[in-house]
């Protein structure tokens, strides 16, 4: 099967250079749940895995190619996972680690197979997992430790982060490869409770990984970072690249910071998941992880991170953010890297959230608030990325005050969701924007049926400076009134090249839907173009070296670079950096701051 053929193993060259491998006689611990390899085999058997054996450049071709099934008019039910067995970079270097894209949520069917239940039981499955968490089982001889690289070996070419074929998600805009399906594990320095969340990671050097914790979502890792900084300590961290699906799905759920996601993952599969102790940090990591990056997140210094194409549909411009100094990389001998399609929605990133978030909203309104008239909650996905437009399907007999209570509840459940909350009857298709506009036009009187909720955070998206940076729900003029970052799709030349490859592979005919390539909306500098060009040429370490010279310890995390150095600042001109004042102490600073294609086994059966 295609999934099995991907198991190529780590080359002898890597082992000879310093990687320590586990003895062949070591026996993997027992488990009652599928790992990533089992999941790929299941997708293959269902005809949902496309395996590509021809060379594919991770820096210019991989993500644009898979992107086409989200921007080329391909119905969701026909989207598949893509397994790339012959990965190269812009410099022609070949990697011995395959990359799989779309394996978790290219479609609802892919998601369903991964979570192990029918779609109509998703709500029930998540509620059971949260109500019945199961502690993980700590094991030895973990498969994730079959290959171990640490110490000075990480500085050798092809042994550090440059050994991992991390793709460039939005070629033409991104300034480096970024891990996208990367679970960051940290521990509360006070309580010892671990937290796991999915955040992007910028590859900055062989042993330095940037990060962006999305502070508007109040992630647990940020709270841990703040506590560690107050104690004058670095924050131990482990980044998981590829894990059993139950763990990956749990990492993207919005759970309380006091809950260990491993416990909920156990509840999801009805038994303990296997974890093992990391090699160089005091953390537990998934025993069946494909790749684990260990290290310490610096709590004194922040440095520029991004540009990167984000899921809100624009490029996220530079912010000051934390970075991790890598102390160890472990992996399976035949590791497979997982990457996720994000940026402009619909995407794998939006679907993996939508399938679980819609039932979560419905459960809150119906069972927590007791509003029985709510039949269904639908989060609009294309372009708006779930959070901005929420449709409530209401029973026709629902009292008017209950309809309003439902809308208030939907707008308040999630700090970043509900900019537009629309209540409609069951005859309106909430996935059809034309139908929603028709209902708003003919079934709502603006003088009687519309309210504006002020004093809301902008949430996930470009940070407009208007109105003091605050937002509102329901009525907001959505036309562009100021410069914005580019549309976060690969530039036209990369999408056109990927389209040629798509057609060469004999894949289904594409129907491009605007926008199908990225273009500038005014807020973009020649220096960012230069960094993006270096990235697609494989010279992103040049940018990483420059970024290291721009560190500050007198700014807060998520501070935008333009707010410190102004719009005229250019990343290629480090001399323009104003001198950073050295704080008297960390506490003081804190205060300031198809020739090679095999389709699935069920090939059109």
- List, for residues 461-481, the tens digit of each pLDDT value: 666 667 676 766 663 333 333
Strand partners, 202: 178
Whose tokens are 């990671």? That residue is 201
User: Which domains, from first to last, does the chain contain?
Assistant: 2-344 (2.30.110.10), 357-473 (3.40.1670.10)
Task: Report the share of the chain in percent with pLDDT over 90.
Answer: 47
Distance CA 170, CA 494 (A): 9
Does position 428 have pLDDT exceeding 90, yes or no?
A: no
By CB neighbour count within 10 A (0-12 exposed, 13-18 middle, 19+ buried), where does 298 fall? buried
User: What is the β-pairing status of strands 194-198 and 182-187?
Assistant: antiparallel
The full 3-state SS of 246-261, as one line of letters, equals: HHHHHHCCCCCCCCCH
In degrees and rounded to multiples of 5, residue 592 shows phi and psi of -80, -20
In degrees and rounded to multiples of 5, residue 115 shows phi and psi of -90, -15
Distance CA 489, CA 310 (A): 9
Range in 82-86, 179-183, 489-493, 582-586 with the lowest mean pLDDT: 582-586
Distance CA 338, CA 8 (A): 15
Does position 374 have pLDDT exceeding 90, yes or no?
A: no
Own/partner contacts of 363-372, CB < 8 Å, gap of 24 or more, are 363/123, 363/127, 364/409, 364/413, 365/392, 365/406, 365/409, 365/410, 369/405, 369/406, 369/409, 371/398, 371/402, 371/405, 371/406, 371/409
Band of the pLDDT at 519, cuts 50, 70, 90? Answer: confident
- What's the distance, Cα to Cα, between the start and end of the chain in Å? 15
Instruction: For residue range 34-80, list pLDDT tens digits in order.
Output: 999 999 999 999 999 999 999 999 999 999 999 999 888 888 889 99
Band of the pLDDT at 14, cuts 50, 70, 90? Answer: very low
In degrees and rounded to multiples of 5, residue 354 shows phi and psi of -60, -45
> Which of left, alpha, beta for 306 (phi over 0: left; psi -120 to 50: alpha)?
left
Query: Among residues 593, 603, 542, 467, which one has the least CA distance to residue 175?
Result: 542
Does position 599 have pLDDT exceeding 70, yes or no?
A: no
- Percentages helix, strand, coil for the chain (3-state, rounded to 5) are 30, 20, 45
Q: What is the pLDDT of residue 25?
A: 43
Strand partners, 394: 374, 425
Which residues, in sequence order, are CB contacts of 149 under 8 Å at separation 6+?
Answer: 18, 19, 20, 159, 160, 163, 328, 329, 330
Band of the pLDDT at 126, cuts 50, 70, 90? Answer: confident
Q: What is the pLDDT of residue 459?
A: 63
Q: What is the pLDDT of residue 6?
A: 35
Distance CA 600, CA 44 (A): 4
Does position 257 have pLDDT exceeding 60, yes or no?
A: yes
Task: Provide the H-helix boundaries in 6-157.
Answer: 12-16, 36-45, 62-71, 108-115, 122-131
Which CA distances in Å does 512 have to 68, 71, 152, 508, 594? 8, 6, 48, 12, 21
pTM of the model: 0.72
Distance CA 87, CA 93 (A): 8
Question: What's the distance, CA 283 to chain centroid?
Answer: 22
Does position 515 have pLDDT exceeding 60, yes or no?
A: yes
Distance CA 238, CA 294 (A): 4
Strands of the sheet containing 49-52, edge to edge, are 337-339, 99-101, 81-84, 49-52, 597-598
Contact by Cβ (8 Å): 100, 336: yes
Contact by Cβ (8 Å): 505, 56: no
């Amino acid at each position: 099967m295609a999934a099995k053929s991907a198991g190529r193993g780590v080359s002898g060259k890597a082992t000879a250079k310093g990687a320590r491998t586990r003895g062949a006689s070591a026996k993997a611990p027992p488990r009652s749940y599928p790992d990533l390899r089992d999941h790929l085999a299941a997708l293959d058997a269902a005809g949902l895995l496309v395996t590509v054996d021809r060379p594919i450049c991770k820096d210019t071709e991989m993500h644009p190619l898979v992107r086409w099934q989200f921007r080329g008019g391909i119905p969701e039910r026909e989207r598949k996972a893509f397994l790339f067995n012959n990965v190269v970079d812009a410099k022609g270097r070949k990697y011995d680690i395959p990359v799989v894209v779309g394996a978790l949520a290219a479609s609802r069917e892919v998601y369903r197979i991964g979570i192990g239940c029918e779609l109509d039981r998703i709500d029930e499955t998540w509620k059971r997992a949260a109500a019945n968490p199961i502690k993980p089982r700590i094991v030895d001889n973990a498969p994730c430790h079959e290959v171990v690289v640490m110490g000075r070996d990480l500085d050798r070419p092809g042994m550090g982060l440059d050994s991992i074929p991390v793709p460039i998600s939005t070629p033409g805009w991104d300034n480096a490869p970024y891990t996208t399906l990367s679970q960051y594990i940290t521990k509360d320095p006070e309580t010892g409770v671990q937290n796991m969340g999915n955040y992007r990671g910028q590859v900055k050097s062989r042993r330095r990984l940037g990060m962006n914790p999305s502070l508007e979502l109040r992630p647990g890792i940020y709270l841990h970072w703040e506590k560690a900084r107050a104690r004058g300590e670095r924050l131990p961290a482990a980044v998981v690249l590829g894990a059993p699906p139950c763990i990956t799905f749990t990492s993207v759920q919005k759970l309380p910071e006091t809950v260990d996601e491993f416990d909920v993952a156990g509840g999801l599969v009805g038994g303990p998941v296997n974890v093992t102790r990391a090699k160089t940090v005091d953390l537990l990591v998934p025993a069946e992880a494909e790749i684990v990056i260990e290290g310490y997140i610096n709590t004194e210094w922040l440095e520029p991170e991004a540009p990167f194409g984000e899921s809100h549909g624009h490029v996220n411009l530079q912010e000051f953010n934390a970075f991790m100094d890598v102390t160890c990389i472990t992996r399976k001998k035949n590791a497979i890297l997982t990457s996720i399609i994000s940026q402009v929605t619909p995407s794998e990133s939006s679907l993996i959230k939508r399938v679980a978030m819609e039932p979560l909203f419905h459960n809150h309104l119906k069972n927590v608030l007791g509003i029985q008239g709510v039949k269904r909650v639908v989060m609009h996905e294309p372009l708006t990325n779930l959070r901005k437009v929420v449709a409530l399907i209401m029973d026709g007999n629902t009292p008017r005050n209950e309809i309003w209570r439902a809308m208030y509840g939907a707008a308040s459940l999630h700090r970043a969701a509900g900019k537009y909350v629309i209540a409609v009857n069951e005859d309106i298709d909430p996935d059809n924007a034309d139908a929603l506009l028709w209902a708003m036009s003919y079934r709502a009187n603006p003088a009687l049926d519309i309210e504006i909720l002020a004093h809301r955070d902008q949430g996930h998206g470009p940070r407009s400076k208007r109105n003091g940076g605050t937002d509102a729900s329901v009525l907001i003029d959505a036309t562009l009134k100021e410069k914005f970052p580019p549309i976060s799709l690969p530039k036209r030349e990369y999408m056109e090249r990927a389209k040629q490859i798509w057609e060469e592979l004999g894949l289904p005919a594409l129907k491009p839907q605007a926008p199908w390539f990225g273009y500038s909306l005014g807020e973009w500098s020649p220096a960012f173009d230069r960094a993006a060009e270096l990235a697609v040429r494989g010279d992103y370490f040049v940018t990483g070296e420059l970024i290291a010279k721009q560190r500050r310890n007198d700014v807060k995390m998520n501070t935008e670079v333009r707010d410190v150095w102004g719009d005229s600042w250019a990343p290629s001109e480090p001399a323009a950096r104003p001198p950073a004042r050295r704080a008297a102490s960390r506490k003081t600073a804190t205060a300031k701051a198809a020739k090679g294609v095999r389709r699935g086994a069920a090939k059109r059966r």
